Amino acid sequence: MEFIDPELLEYCEAHTSEEDALLKKITRETQAKVLMPRMLSGQLQGKFLELMVKMHQPKTILEIGTYTGYSAICMARGLSKEGKLITLDINDELEKMVRGFFEESGLSAQIDYRLGNALDLIPSIEGDFDFVFIDADKENYLPYYQLVIDRVSKGGVILADNVLWSGKVLPKGRKKLDKDTAALLEFNRFVQEDPRVENSLLPIRDGLMLARKL
């Protein structure tokens, strides 16, 4: 997932607002207790998400893929008091841990944490979205996008994580074309060609697709 020199990455982190005690705790406990801790957003991406929310000031955020709650807390910290974040995840084994982190953050009243298959949950959510963050199973990135795009408000933002997929979006970065890589290639192509948005693919962490609804 690292696309820059480790020393340069350390420099970037040293010049990014530091994680507070809670975010450091989430990182430690995720690394110690949860499979695939590399899925955690981390300092650079977490602060980027928080700043994006603070600048955009969405009323409603939809997050697809909660994991251990790091990114949800970062985004919720950027919300106004009237804003809300709906975060969806299919892994109920992490529920106790995640709800504990949300309570500790003091933002649980603004975070609506729902468990289940996002493809089933999204149609049941009322209202539109001003900001969407997709960070879940890669094979369903395009179905998720297609479910939300017409419900994103004009000027609203969709962010999708892992769109560079450790460099495997390039032929030289992979030995074979697996299902996840193929799905991400299709997703990136679709967003690039979608006349409903303007977009930029950012080489932050494992790649972030940023799309703004026209």
Number of domain units in the chain: 1
Q: Which domain holds residue 150?
A: 6-213
Task: Quote the CA–CA distance of 164 and 86 in Å, as a whole number.
Answer: 26
Question: Residue 1: inside a domain, yes or no?
Answer: no
**Pairwise CA distance, residues 23 & 142, whole Å:** 30
Residue 39's pLDDT band, with cuts at 50, 70 and 90, is confident
Q: Is 100 among the domain residues?
A: yes
DSSP letters for the chain: ---S-HHHHHHHHHTSPPP-HHHHHHHHHHHHHSS-GGGS-HHHHHHHHHHHHHHH--SEEEEE--TTSHHHHHHHHTS-TT-EEEEEES-GGGHHHHHHHHHHHT-TTTEEEEES-HHHHGGGS-S-EEEEEE-S-GGGHHHHHHHHGGGEEEEEEEEEE-SSGGGTTSGGG-SS--HHHHHHHHHHHHHHH-TTEEEEEE-STT-EEEEEE-
Count of C-beta atoms within a 10 Å radius of residue 60: 21
pLDDT tens column, 134-192: 999 999 999 999 999 999 999 999 999 999 998 999 998 888 899 999 999 999 999 99
**95-128 residue pLDDT tens:** 999 999 999 999 999 999 999 999 999 999 999 9
**Residue 161 within any structural domain of the chain:** yes
Integer Cα distance of 214 and 211 in angstroms = 9
User: Whole-angstrom Cα distance, residue 135 to residue 141?
Assistant: 8
Note whether 197 and 191 are within 8 A (CB). Answer: yes
In a domain, 64, yes or no: yes
Task: Report yes or no on 165 lying in a domain.
Answer: yes
Question: Is residue 143 assigned to a domain?
Answer: yes
What is the C-alpha separation between 213 and 96, in angstroms, rounded?
35
CATH assignment of the domain containing 115: 3.40.50.150
Nearest to 110 by CA among 65, 69, 160: 69
In a domain, 32, yes or no: yes
pTM greater than 0.85 (yes/no): yes
| pLDDT band for position 24 (cuts 50, 70, 90) | very high
pLDDT value of position 77: 97
Of 72 and 205, more confident:
72
Q: How many CA atoms lie within 13 A of 63 on its CB side?
A: 26
